[in-house]
Structure 1
Amino acid sequence: MPRFSVIVPVFKVQGFLRECLDSVLDQSYTDIEVIAVDDCSPDGCGAILDEYAAREPRLRVLHLPQNVGLGRARNAGMPYATGDYLFFLDSDDTLTPGALRAMADRLDETADPDVLVFDYARTYWWGGTRRNVLAQVLAEGGDGCFTAAEHPEILDLLMVVWNKVHRRAFVEREGFTFPPGYYEDTPWTFPVLLGAERIATLDRICLNYRQRRQGNILSTTSRKHFDIHDQYERVFAFVDSRPQLSSWRPFLHRKMGEHCLDILAKPDRLPASDKGEFFRRTVALFRKHKGGGPVPRELRVLQGGYVTYLARRQSGRLGAELGRRGLQVRRAAATRVKSGWSAAHEHRPLDPDLAVYSAFSHRGVLGDPGAIYHAARELAPHVRGVWVVREDQVPLLPPGIEYVLPDSLGYRRVTARATYLINNVNWPGTLVKRAGSVHVHTHLGTPLKYMGADLRDKTGARHGFDVPQMLRRADRWDYSLVANRHSELVWDRAYPCRFTSLRTGSPRNDVLVRARPEDGAAVRARLGIPAGHRVVLYAPTRRDYVRGGLVDRIDLARFADDLGEGHTLLVRLHPSLTDGPSRGMGLSELHRRGVVLDATDEPHVEDLMLASDVLVTDYSALMFDYANLDRPIVIHADDWGAYAASRGAYFDITADAPGHVARSYRELAWLFASGSWRDEESARLRSGFRARFCAFDDGRAAERVVRTLMLGERVEHPVPVAVVPAQAGHNVLTSS
């Protein structure tokens, strides 16, 4: 008996069917059967199914003699299912890698619940991806099981069948089947969730929900949308048959009203001549099932006639338009006030003892600006430091930090009066550089990939990136901090502006250069890493050749398992990937299960480096900082050609690597299994890399910036530890 019976109804999807079937049959979890139901599809779907069935014993094909619709096609497949769980997969959607394994593990953890609800992402025909906006409902489900009454938010999720697996014995006992017509998932999902005694959730994106440009049945204009009324009648009939569920009637009454009004509001659902009839049927259904409670404000329109409904919709549109115009007027007025406020303060003299800081687009006291700020408090306490911080980051600030919110009046005041403005990201274009002010740009790290003006010929990498505007902002720089000769030469070319390079080293790396063994131990204890564990820090970067930037280069669960006992896999995603679907593609779920430790939200990446024994990365600039620790680095470069072609690179990291290079997962696993990741060759490569890219990092970078720029002292520049070798090719970076 297989664990999963995957039932796939098929109709007019020949362009997507192979991808759907491959996503199921190529899963690492193989204890499945697939029942594909050819719903008399007029295209080539039937032949494709037969082709797959001929070579795949886990796939069974049913060819229906006539088209019966999505719901009844699913019903046709259910009698042939022998698995513990039923999974109804639409034939134009796909499973994400590792999805079935994650589901099976979660079912085992929760001792076979009646229903397991998992997450999904919408994938658009133009390449975009958007995670389910109610994903937090799954995370809030907890580690165990619950009923709908205990976690009613579960009913706010999309009322579909394909984001769940159902225990077959539960379905057969309750006699659940799909009705005919549109919206067939509604009278299945509500009864299933209300009748289930044990529901579990999986906070992981297991399915890609394809948003087709055309061909979505529910997006077609048809009278079949009237089926929604019959479907809700079925839901109410189910509740009426179970007296213990009567308390759900007000909730379902509201859901029904919202659902029907949503259909009516869509411009492409109903013929214009049928909208009045649809409204009247909705009103009749709404009245029939109304209880004794008050009608929610947004549904009171169903207490009147169709003409009143149209008038309210029109007034709503007019109010929204007036609201938009009013908002534009208010914003324009606020901009004028702020501009006037800035101009007033720009006529006052600069404050010689005022410094304004920002890091990572106002995310807090972090990076190079943070290190300079702390050094200034110790060495130049007379210089007042004010941070520009996003409102959502204010609660995370350390005690005693003075801050202003971006573009507030306070922000306009301090940026107009400050002598020192220190940032690792360009200030907004509205900030005017005053004569006598000192703008210090610290950058985000040593460049491997193309930056600035070098992106002008990399169309994909600079999508949405205005190079001329960026250079105009860089024109405000007075000083550019560099940690090595390579960076100095790159910044001079990538940012053809009037600034002075300061060979200070990177202030953020001072803590790494001065690191003591106990520093890493303290971080490990805070993160809950078991004593004695070897910590592998995995820090992948984003990709410019895929929309969204996320590419899963490593199966994290497999890597953690291959590392074995006594290891902790610490994962740090690129900051640009912290939101959206990236975390939901398995990382959050693996963290919850203790397979890996997701440290993406840790504000200070330096802490993670201190806590680790080895870094595994692809092309992240983190490797240049990590080299200061003189600990092993492994480069996983299985897509170097695609990365370099799409983004551009200043040198070949696979030829001038800080350690061993793995060009496949098999090679990566072998490096750790054999111990080669820390052999003599690894140390030799790392030594040469440090000599080239950590030349000015001596642990005194922040102090050097403060003494040079704020105190006006003459400070010796750090002496490079070795001569920097020149590179071959058109990107020749020579030393001086």
Structure 2
Amino acid sequence: MPRFTVVVPVHEVRGLLRECLESVLRQRSCHSETIEVIGVDDGSADGSGRLLDELAAADRRVRAVHLAAPVSAGERRDAGAGQARGEYLLFLEPGLVLLPGALDAVDARLKEAGDPDLLLFGHLRTPFLGTAEPARSLDVLRAAGDAVTTAAGRPGLLGVAPVSWNRAVRREFWRDGGPRFGPGARAEAMWALGALLAAGSVAALATPCVDHRQRRPLPGARPAEDRGEVVAAYDALLAKTAARPGAEALRGPLFALAVRELLKTYAGARGQRRAYVRAVAAFSRTHRPVGSGRSGVRARLLTGGRFRTLAALDGALAARRALRSRVRAVRRSALRTAFRHYYRLQRLLPLDPGLAVYASYWNRGVSCNPAAVHRKAAELAPHIKGVWVVTKAEAADGHPFVLPDTLAYWRLMARAGYFVNNVNFPDHLVKRPGQRHLQTHHGTPLKRMGLDQLDRPAAAQGFGFRRFLARVDRWDFSLSANPHSTETWSRVYPSAVRHLESGYPRNDVYATATAESIAAVRRALGIAPGRRAILYAPTHREYERGFSAPLDLVRVADALGPDTLLLVRAHYFHASAGLPEHPGLLDVSAHPRVEELCLAADALVTDYSSMMFDYANLDRPIVVHAPDWEVYRTVRGVCFDLLSGRPGDTPGAVTTSTDELISCFRDGGWDSRANAVLRAAFRERFCPYDDGRAAERVVRTVFLDEEADAPRPVEPARRAVPPLPGQTGARRVSAAGRPSP
């Protein structure tokens, strides 16, 4: 029998679930005889259930429970507890994590206290975009000391936050009449208080065991609460407590707690305040202890005949809202220009549902996923005109375009029905009702992105997270190339956006390329027939200035000889790689379409660039050259261990020095059978949707509302891959990495 069962209710938490469960599974002494984790999903539409199954398949301590229909969080907890085998039940929410050593501390305290019915333990509180701080409950737990007591014996324990995840409940106590969660918005608080009041023995542990990481509140994320149900919940709790032997000592403290919560609830009771006040008045008449002192004063605040105090509270709330509104208005007024006035006037005019705005890489031209979407939209939705935003220095390749900060630009931004970008549009863009924003992204995340950079100051470098989140809130659709990206985007870009697991439109060309089109690209680049072309594409490092190649390119070119050409692609932040003159080196940094460079190359050498995920579609050798891996993952942060050597993590050969890279290509290690197997697993994990029809799925979903008609992705094992340079005919690749014609 496990010592602990940790129950995790799962609903639309794809980006938060993995870290939550891993915080439990990484606890010291956490083997299968110590712990079991039960995740309970009720049909999450975001794929949380599939992720739960994946985690359960990878670790036998995890069990996935799937409910037939959506239920409340409390009912998910009850379902998990009903299947528990552990001696003690703990509950943990996705987004919260157990702190290192938490279960050892809980276990030790339980044994010291003689295995009581209930153990209350401390937690840290981490505000959204803030740093961890001790919760007030820790003071209450310290005051309780080491004695084993009851709620009646120490009413001060009611001051511990009434949540499910700061207490361990003996399963026999829960099974033999302990409270259940049930439905309702306040079910968790009522359960927490009910368990404390009913427990025959209670111990305290004044040690933080959980990090309560507060999530970003999203519009519509929490359903409107019936304030009458809140009053009824506390009414039932006090009535049940009054019937318990020796409950007189609890009546005053419990009533005071209820009054505090009801006063908090009043602030949001717009539209139903008079009815709410009447319900609270009845509650007070029923449960207010005689001579309740300060608690009675607080109750009378709600029961005064003329609502003078409530009116004052209403006035204070309104004044605060008005003050905030005025501050925002002054700030906006200071930033307005003549163009912004024009923009505001244009926003009064009707939207044009046949107009779409496209941009890529901060207006650097026509490229990447937006370009592929534009091409497909011109084919499937020709009634929607696409206009590109480009700078004067960039070409629009014959497409309609506007320059930023022109009258045409502001008119376009005010009235277009669709916006497509692989980065964010500027802060000055105001999203109007009816406009649709498609965020295509421009890579699969290896490095930490978005909110994951909060603890990486060298990477963030003064990044304005709140302004960034305001931009994220404009997104309606977020493209995803693979489940890993969906999980990551969900966590690091918390918003109400819908994630489209469509694949990357820019990668469609890999499924349709022919021997002739590949040969044409190579001719345009000046690659002689039969010459091996190796694409070298290192990523940008925020902590370095300018292009830096952690590789002696001249030595590599000399060592590999005249039959090999190195195509050097600097990150798009840099105009060129600044290469020396050498017949074996070609600077392709300014080439407008990186997809063509990938098709032309026999192999890819990169460090941490997301290009590797796209290149894997071609099933050609990938060499990871990572001389500074420890520095990069420490400073920039990464999502997984690229150099682990595990299938799915590492795409092929790994080198850490110029000599190792040269040897890798000389001895054939770059294209070995073992690395082909790694590449196949990497492709399976990161290229599940790139079947050549990603752009069509996007256009039918976003522009045409024809999602039901969009083609379903073809799994990698059933797809053909383009021929290798110099070969004819497409190839198929088995799961073992063995190519066949």
When normalised by structure 1's length, the TM-score is 0.50
CA distance in 1, matches of 2:364, 2:687: 26
Q: Distance in 1 between matches of 2:513 and 2:462?
A: 39
**Residue 569 (structure 1) shift:** 0.8
For 1:345-494, what aligned pairs fall within 5 Å after superposition?
A: 345-393=346-394, 396-399=395-398, 401-494=399-492
Structure 1 residue 601, shift from structure 2 partner = 0.6
SS at match of 2:460: coil
Q: What is the CA-CA distance between 1:557 and the residue it aligns to?
A: 0.5
State the AA in 2 paired with 1:674. D
Taking the TM superposition and a 5 Å limit, the aligned residue runs for 1:229-248 are none
SS of match in other structure, 1:526: helix
Select 1:552's aligned residue among 544, 549, 553: 549
What is the alpha-carbon distance in structure 1 between the residues aligned to residue 548 and residue 632 of structure 2? 11
Question: C-alpha offsets along residues 682-705 of structure 1, whole Å, 9 cap, x if unaligned?
Answer: 110110000000011111011111
Kindly tell me: are residues 536 and 554 of structure 1, through their superposed partners in 2, closer, same or farther at Cα, counting changes over 3 Å?
same
Name the counterpart of 2:713. 718
Alignment partner of 1:567 is 2:564: yes
Who is 2:640 aligned against?
651
Cα 1:616/1:438, change in 2 over 3 Å: same
Whether 1:595 aligns to 2:589 is: no
Q: Which residue of 1 aligns with 2:224?
A: none
User: 1:721, CA displacement in angstroms?
Assistant: 4.3
Q: Does 1:679 align with 2:679?
A: no
- Alpha-carbon distance between aligned partners in 2 of 1:621 and 1:334, rounded to the nearest angstrom: 37
Matched, 1:610 2:599: yes
> Does the Cα contact within 8 Å between 2:551 and 2:657 map onto a contact in 1?
no
SS in 2 for 1:347: coil
Report the equivalent of 2:698.
705
Tell me how far apart the structure 2 counterparts of residues 496 and 411 of structure 1 sit (CA, whole Å). Answer: 29
Query: Which residue identity does 1:382 align to in structure 2?
Result: H
- Structure 2 match to 1:519: 517
For residues 617 and 376 of structure 2, the distance between their equivalents in structure 1, rounded to whole angstroms, comes to 20
Q: Is the 8 A contact 1:545 1:642 kept in 2?
A: no
3-state DSSP class of the match of 2:558? helix
Structure 1 stretch 406-415 or stretch 680-689: which is displaced more?
406-415
Q: 1:530 to 1:449 in 2, by over 3 A?
A: same
- State the Cα deviation string for residues 472-520 of structure 1 (Å, max 9, x = none): 1111000000010000000000101110000111000001122222222
Whether 1:665 aligns to 2:654 is no
Deviation at 1:549, TM superposition (A): 5.4
Distance in 1 (CA, whole Å) between partners of 2:717 and 2:453 is 30
In structure 1, distance between residues paired with 2:451 and 2:531? 44
Closer/same/farther in 2, CA of residues 334 and 653 from structure 1, 3 Å limit: closer
Partner of 1:692: 685
What is the number of residues matched between the two proteins?
A: 380
**SS of 1:432 mapped into structure 2:** coil
Secondary structure of 1:575's match? Answer: coil
Alpha carbons of 1:545 and 1:364: their partners in 2 closer, same or farther (altered >3 Å)? closer
Q: Please say if residues 503 and 717 of structure 1, whose CA atoms lie closer than 8 Å, have aligned partners that are also in contact.
A: no
SS at match of 1:481: strand
Question: Which residues of 2 match residues 85-96 of structure 1 at below 5 A?
Answer: none
3-state DSSP of counterpart to 2:378: helix
Indicate whether 1:624 and 2:613 are aligned: yes
Q: Which digits, 9 at most, give the CA deviation of each residue in 1:626-662, with x for residues without a partner?
A: 0111111000011100000000000011122111111
CA distance in 1, matches of 2:396, 2:714: 36
Normalising by structure 2, we get a TM-score of 0.50
8 Å contact from structure 1 (residues 695, 722) kept in 2: no
Alignment of 1:206-217 (within 5 A): none
Q: Is this contact kept in 1: 2:693–2:711, CA < 8 A? A: no
Residue identity (%) = 49
The answer to whether the 8 Å contact 1:439/1:478 transfers is yes
Equivalent position SS for 1:645: helix
Distance 2:511 2:546 in 1: 31
1:439 counterpart letter in structure 2 = H
C-alpha displacement of 1:565: 2.5
Residue deviations 1:140-185 (CA, integer Å, cap 9, x gap): xxxxxxxxxxxxxxxxxxxxxxxxxxxxxxxxxxxxxxxxxxxxxx
5+ residue gaps in structure 1? 1-331, 724-736
Moved more, 570-579 or 692-701: 570-579
CA distance in 2, matches of 1:608, 1:550: 19
Local SS of the residue matching 1:538 = strand
Deviations 1:305-364 (A, max 9, x none): xxxxxxxxxxxxxxxxxxxxxxxxxxx999532112111221112111111000011011
**Shift in alpha-carbon separation, 1:722–1:531, aligned structure 2, 3 A:** closer
| Equivalent position SS for 1:375 | helix
CA distance in 1, matches of 2:462, 2:717: 40
SS in 2 for 1:460: helix
One-letter amino acid of the counterpart of residue 591, structure 2: E
CA distance in 2, matches of 1:647, 1:550: 17
Matches within 5 A, 1:96-245: none
Determine the structure 2 residue equivalent to 1:33.
Answer: none
Cα separation, partners in 2 of 1:425 and 1:660, compared to 1, 3 Å: same
Q: 5+ residue gaps in structure 2? A: 1-332, 719-741
What secondary structure, in the 3-state scheme, does the structure 2 residue paired with 1:594 have?
Answer: coil
Q: Distance in 1 between matches of 2:338 and 2:628?
A: 51
Q: CA separation of 1:334/1:488 partners in 2, compared to 1, >3 Å: closer, same or farther?
A: closer
Q: Does the CA contact (< 8 Å) of 2:652 and 2:678 recur in 1? A: yes
SS at match of 1:431: coil
Which aligned pairs between 1:57-96 and structure 2 lie closer than 5 A?
none
Deviation at 1:719, TM superposition (A): 5.2
